[in-house]
Each structure stands twice: as C-alpha cells, then as structure tokens.
Amino acid sequence: MCEPRTVMFSGVSGGGEGYLRDTGPVWDEGGSFRLGALGADTRCDVCVVGLGGSGLSAVRAALARGLDVVGVDAGEVASGAAGRNGGFLLAGCAAFHHDAVAALGRERAAALYRLTLAEVEAMARDTPDHVRRVGSLRIADSAEELEDCRSQLAAMRADELDVESYAGPEGDGLLFPHDCVLDPLARCRELARRAVAGGARLYARTKALTVAADEVLTDRGRIACGVVIVAVDGGLEALLPELRALVRTARLQMVATAPTDEVALPRPVYRRYGYEYYQQLPSGRITVGGFRDRAGDGEWTLDASPHAAVQDRLEAYLREVIGVSAPVTHRWAARVGFTRGVLPVFARVRGGVVAIGGYNGTGNVVGSILGREAAAAAVGDAAALSGLFDVTEL
C-alpha cells in the first residue's frame, strides 16, 4: 500500500528469531491455477520474466501486438506481491497528489493521476467479478496528518480531481469516490487464463537465472527471444544488480481474521500516511497490513516470511484500533521494491532488456500501466508511451 516517500537506502536486512508460519494470503480461497514448468529450450518474440500483475499486463500487450510470447515465473502466477497484497486499487502514484505535484510538477502529476484513474476504471470493467467499486478512505492519525489531508484536498480540487472531505466512524480525512478494491490473486489468475487462451506460453516454477537482450537462461532451459521484459517488483535488483542504485527491496506483511460483524467497514481505509491499511471483505473478514517502518531495518530484506516484529503490531492494531477480537486466520508477507523518488523503475538495461518494478508499495494500478508501456518500449513503439514515466537507459 502507499507509504511515505522518503526511503533510506542504508541499513541491512534482518533475520533470526521470530518467524511465523505463512498461511498464504487470504485471497487464496476457493480456486487454483497451475501452469506447467518450461520443459525444453524454446524461442519466442517476447519473453516476460515475472507473472504478477505487471508481467501479465505486458504479456497481454505483447499478444495484442500479434507477437509470440513466452512468460516465466519462478513460483506460480501471482505468487509474489501481486497475489499477496492489500487489494487496494487506488488512483495516483505512491505519493499523495500534493506531494506528486511537488516532485513532478502540476501538469505531469495531474496527468499521471488521470492515467491511473482511467486504469482503475479499465481494470474494473475488464474483470468485474474481482473488483468492487467502493471508494477508499485516507484517515488522519494526527492533527498534522489532518492538515496534510487538507493540502491534498486543495491540490486535487485545483486539478479538478474527485475527492471529498470525510468525517465518519473510521475517523477524519478524505474520501476518494472512484477508488476500488480487488481480489488481486483471482484477477491475476484470470489474466493468465486469458493469456494462455490467447496463445501465450506461460510457465511456472521456472526461474530466470540470467537475462540478456536476446536470451533468458532459466533453471529449466534456454529461451531465445527478440526482446525481454523483466516485470519483478520486489527482488528486481537481485536479478538485475545494475538497478541497485535505483530500487531496494522491502518486506510488507499482513494478517486477516475470521469473518466478524464486530465492525462494518464499507470502504478500505489507509492511515498514518498510508503505512497502515485495512479493509473488510464481503465475507466479513478483516485484512490489515502495515508497520514496515516500525520494525527497524530488518524489513529491508529479500526474505518474504512473516515475522513477529510486524505481525505482533498488526494483531495489536486489530484489537486496539480497529476494534476486532476475531481470531487471526491468515498471516503472510511479500517483497516489494522502493525507489528514491515517487516514480517506479522503468529502465532499459543490457542493450535492450526492459525492466519495470519499484512501485513503492502501490503497484496494482501503476504496474498494470507500466506492463503495457514496457511492451511498447520493448518493441520500439515510442508513440504508445504515455511519456509520464522516465525511462532510464543503463
């Protein structure tokens, strides 16, 4: 979910005591989708590494161009953050609009907001069974944050972007009427099914070991290809170490409860500048994530296992702030990439490989856009780029 924008690139990843069993995300209920692994060396026009929401968007865009596409994932479809996130589908980038204006300028920030708003709408129309149009709430945790909400409100109104002041049982803040929530895992599986039906060859349990402009070497075989797109959010710098200066991986953690009627939350809520985020699912379950910043440098890690340093805080938050005593049934974590600024990584490396990721905790919408743009960039179709994301040439 969205978080403050200042990212320190110092510190080391943690480990040691306190790991808890990963139950899998709350989304992993009542459905499955399994692909085979790559069985032999192969060739294609476009190879996409990473089958989360961003990679599947790239696959789809490449298919729409009539290209022969192979996609590989080290795990299963959406087994990374794309299928293990908070399910918020928010317009905007990771920065609140007034902060985006300060960082990018008013015209670009407003254009970016409108682009993401259109993407939220397109995603809701594309997979209506997996998206709910409920709006979202930013709730202030302090007088200072309420003042920040006012600045955000003023900046959005100045750019004629829909937002309302909000005061209700959740607290005081802002209401964004066009935001949505989604079942991120079900949506990705749906996209993968459609891609396979459309002719893409997608492989699970197939890890890219090395990536070059015309070849991906995996632990299951070689893929010779015209172009390569790497769509990996958390762990991007592990696969492409030249991106280390641009992106750094952190762990985000969540819990979910058994269904409960102790509270009624019609909309997803994010608080404390987006550090904490929770929602109630139609089943009555409460999901909550957050506290990455309160657990120290140990959360800057490639490890994706739930840890008590954050899990205990999430459980206390459920009880003390959200007011829910229902038992915790799910605990999970995943990796995401953070950049130095408000924009994600959109880079061309190794003489042609296009790499995307680093969504600063909010990749469901921007990743969907950037997957499409990565496909355009990979085939040299500059006219299809929005021009709102900087392409770094390395």
Ligand X SMILES: Cc1cc2nc3c(=O)[nH]c(=O)nc-3n(C[C@H](O)[C@H](O)[C@H](O)COP(=O)(O)OP(=O)(O)OC[C@H]3O[C@@H](n4cnc5c(N)ncnc54)[C@H](O)[C@@H]3O)c2cc1C
- Point out which residues bind ligand X (CB under 6 A): 1, 49-55, 72-75, 79-82, 84-88, 207-208, 231-235, 239, 252, 254, 289, 334, 336, 357, 359, 361-365, 367
Which of 32, 383 has the CB closer to ligand X?
A: 32
Pairing of the two strands 221-231 and 42-49:
parallel
CB of 88 to ligand X, least distance (A): 3
CB of 143 to ligand X, least distance (A): 26
Strands of the chain (E only): list them.
Answer: 42-49, 69-72, 88-89, 131-132, 136-139, 164-168, 171-176, 180-182, 201-203, 208-212, 215-218, 221-231, 247-257, 269-271, 276-280, 286-289, 328-339, 345-349, 353-357, 392-393
Which of 260, 367 has the CB closer to ligand X?
A: 367
* Contact call for residues 244 and 394 (beta carbons, < 8 A): no
Which of 66, 76 has the CB closer to ligand X?
A: 76
Phi, psi (5° rounding) for residue 14?
-95, -155
CB of 163 to ligand X, least distance (A): 18
- Give the tokens for residue 80: 């990374």
List the one residue out of 305, 330, 335 whose CA is nearest residue 236.
335
CB of 287 to ligand X, least distance (A): 9
Pairing of the two strands 69-72 and 88-89:
unpaired
Alpha-carbon distance of 378 to 94, in angstroms, equals 25
Which of 67, 268 has the CB closer to ligand X?
A: 268
CB of 58 to ligand X, least distance (A): 9
In this structure, how many other beta carbons lie within 10 angstroms of the beta carbon of residue 48?
35
CB of 351 to ligand X, least distance (A): 19
Which of 79, 301 has the CB closer to ligand X?
A: 79
CB of 268 to ligand X, least distance (A): 8
Sheet containing strand 131-132, edge to edge, reads 88-89, 180-182, 131-132
Residue nearest ligand X by beta-carbon distance? 363
What are the helix (H) ranges across the chain?
53-64, 97-104, 106-126, 143-158, 184-197, 236-239, 308-317, 363-378
Which of 44, 232 has the CB closer to ligand X?
A: 232
Which of 298, 363 has the CB closer to ligand X?
A: 363
CB of 49 to ligand X, least distance (A): 5
Burial 10-33 (b: 16+ CB within 10 A, else e): eeeebeeebebebeebbbbeeeeb
- Give the tokens for residue 341: 């600024």
Which of 28, 150 has the CB closer to ligand X?
A: 28
